[in-house]
Structure 1
Amino acid sequence: MTEQSAGGQPGGDGVVRALAALGGIGVAAAILLVGALHVVAADRVDPVRRTISEYALGADAWMFDVGVVALALGSVAVILALTRADVLRPRSGATVLLGIWAVGMLTVVVFEKTNWSIGPSLGGYIHRYASLVAFLALPLGALLLARAQRGVPGVLAHRVWTRVLALASLGWFLPILWGFAMRPVTGRSWWNAVPLGLVERGLALTEVLLVAVLALWAAHAAGSRSRTPAPGLPAPARA
Structure 2
Amino acid sequence: MTTRVRTLAIGGLAVGAALIALLGVLPSADNVSVLRQTISQYGITDNSWIFNLAVLLVAAGSAAIIASLRAERRLPTAATVLGSLWTVGLLVIVAFPKTNWAVQSAGSFGGTLHRIASVVAFVALPLAVLSAAGAAFPDAPGRRLLTRALAWASLGWFVAILAAVPVGAVVGGDWWDLIPLGLMERGLAFTEVLALVALAAPVVQANAVTVRT
Structure 1 length-normalised TM: 0.80
Give the counterpart letter for 2:112 in structure 1. Y
Question: 1:173 is matched with which residue?
Answer: 158
Residues 1:115 and 2:107 aligned together: no
Question: 2:211 is matched with which residue?
Answer: none
Q: Is the 8 A contact 2:2 2:68 kept in 1?
A: yes
Deviation at 1:148, TM superposition (A): 4.3
Residues 1:65 and 2:81 aligned together: no
Show CA shifts across 1:207-234 (max 9, x none): 1111211220xx338x89xxxxxxxxxx
Give the counterpart letter for 2:35 in structure 1. V
RMSD: 2.0
Whole-angstrom CA distance in 1 between matches of 2:32 and 2:128: 32
Identity %: 42
Q: Is the 8 A contact 2:129 2:196 kept in 1?
A: no
Give the counterpart letter for 1:220 in structure 2. V
Deviation at 1:86, TM superposition (A): 2.2
**Which structure 2 residues correspond to residues 135-174 of structure 1 after superposition, within 5 A?**
135-148=122-135, 152-153=138-139, 155-174=140-159
Deviation at 1:178, TM superposition (A): 2.4
Which sections of structure 1, spanning at least 5 residues, go unmatched? 1-14, 225-239
Which of 187, 192, 202 aligns to 1:202? It is: 187
Which sections of structure 2, spanning at least 5 residues, go unmatched? 207-213
Whole-angstrom CA distance in 1 between matches of 2:169 and 2:81: 37
Q: Is the 8 A contact 1:136 1:170 kept in 2?
A: yes
Show CA shifts across 1:113-134 (max 9, x none): 1100122211111001101100
Aligned length: 204
Structure 2 length-normalised TM: 0.89
Whole-angstrom CA distance in 1 between matches of 2:82 and 2:159: 21
Deviation at 1:149, TM superposition (A): 5.3
Q: Is the 8 A contact 1:19 1:80 kept in 2?
A: no
Give the counterpart letter for 2:56 in structure 1. V
Whole-angstrom CA distance in 1 between matches of 2:122 and 2:99: 18
Give the counterpart letter for 2:13 in structure 1. V
